[in-house]
């Protein structure tokens, strides 16, 4: 098997969480002797090459972050440039998001489920996973730790059943959190998390509160 992996994130590759997820996933592919080539739609100058790889190969995987309940605008623009292909081609997806619960990604997944039909190709399933926002804020070693579970999904994908196996379905984790968990997390959101976000912001050079009402204060 040879997989064309397209990073559908509009963020530059260096800071892309999706890129780190792809790296871990591809490691899993390699362990099973599956070869791959990777592309990123964030670099518009490579779109002709991506389209070429899409047309010449029959195992395509698009990994993308959820942007407002669906595909990011830039990826949507790229997808509109793809010509129709045939059923020999299989198109699979890794859909990742910041929000942690599985239910947050289902609207995006529903779009991806139907997309292959519009493109004339076969659907290979969608690996769905939230809670990835923080990856870019972690140190390199911790980034590798956070994305390691995707390596096992690479190995699973190499077995040829796309993301239709039970292991891929389970990978999403909980659809939603229980009430006690929500109460606990809600408390953390109001206290510790705010401090952590403000600290991260300070390291980015931010000197104002993160919830500042910029336009009302006329700044």
91 and 62 in contact (C-beta within 8 Å)? yes
State which residue, 79 or 152, has the beta carbon closest to other proteins.
Answer: 79
Beta-bridged to residue 38, according to DSSP, are 5
CB of 70 to other proteins, least distance (A): 6
Q: At closest approach, how far in Å is the CB of 145 from other proteins?
A: 21
- Which residues form the interface with other proteins (CB under 8 A)? 9-12, 15-16, 42, 65, 67-74, 76-77, 79-80, 99-101, 103-104, 107, 110-111, 114-115, 118, 136, 176-177, 182, 185-186, 189-190, 193-194, 197, 200-201, 204-206, 208-216
What CA–CA distance (Å, rounded) separates 70 from 59? 22
**Shortest distance, position 112 Cβ to other proteins, whole Å:** 10
Nearest to other proteins of 118, 164 (CB atom): 118
CB neighbour class for 117 (10 Å; exposed up to 12, middle 13-18, buried from 19): exposed
Residue closer to other proteins (CB basis): 102 or 124: 102
State the Cα–Cα distance between residues 22 and 143, nearest whole angstrom: 12
Q: How far is the CB of 174 from other proteins (least distance, A)?
A: 12
- CB closer to other proteins out of 21 and 156: 21
Phi first, then psi: give them for residue 81, nearest 5 degrees.
-90, -5
Which of 31/196 has CB closer to other proteins? 196
The residue (of 55 and 76) whose beta carbon lies closer to other proteins is: 76
Q: Where are the alpha helices (DSSP H) in 1-91?
A: 17-31, 47-56, 73-79
Helix H or strand E segment including 121: none
Angle between helical axes of 140-147 and 149-158 (0-180°, round to 10): 40
Q: In the complex, what is the shortest distance from the CB of residue 180 to other proteins, in angstroms, rounded to a whole number? A: 12
Closest separation in Å from C-beta 193 to other proteins = 7
- Do 4 and 35 meet the contact criterion of CB atoms below 8 Å apart? no
């Amino acid at each position: 098997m040879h997989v064309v992996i397209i990073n559908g994130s509009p963020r530059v590759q260096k800071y892309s969480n999706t890129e780190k997820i792809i790296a871990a996933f591809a490691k899993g592919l390699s362990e099973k002797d599956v070869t791959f080539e990777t592309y990123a739609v964030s670099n518009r100058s490579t779109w002709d090459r991506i389209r070429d790889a899409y047309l010449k190969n029959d195992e395509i995987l698009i990994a993308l972050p959820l942007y407002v309940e669906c595909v990011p605008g830039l990826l949507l623009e790229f997808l509109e440039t793809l010509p129709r292909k045939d059923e020999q081609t299989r198109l699979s997806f890794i859909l990742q998001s910041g929000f942690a619960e599985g239910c947050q990604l289902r609207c995006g997944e529903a779009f991806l489920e139907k997309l292959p039909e519009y493109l004339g190709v076969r659907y290979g399933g969608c690996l769905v996973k939230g809670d990835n926002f923080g990856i870019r804020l972690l140190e390199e070693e911790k980034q590798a730790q956070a994305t390691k579970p995707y390596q096992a999904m690479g190995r699973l994908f190499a077995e040829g059943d796309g993301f239709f196996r039970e292991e891929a379905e389970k990978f999403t984790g909980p659809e939603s959190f229980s009430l006690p968990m929500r109460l606990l997390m809600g408390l953390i959101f109001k206290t510790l998390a705010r401090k952590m976000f403000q600290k991260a912001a300070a390291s980015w050079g931010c000197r104002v509160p993160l919830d500042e009402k910029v336009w009302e204060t006329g700044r």
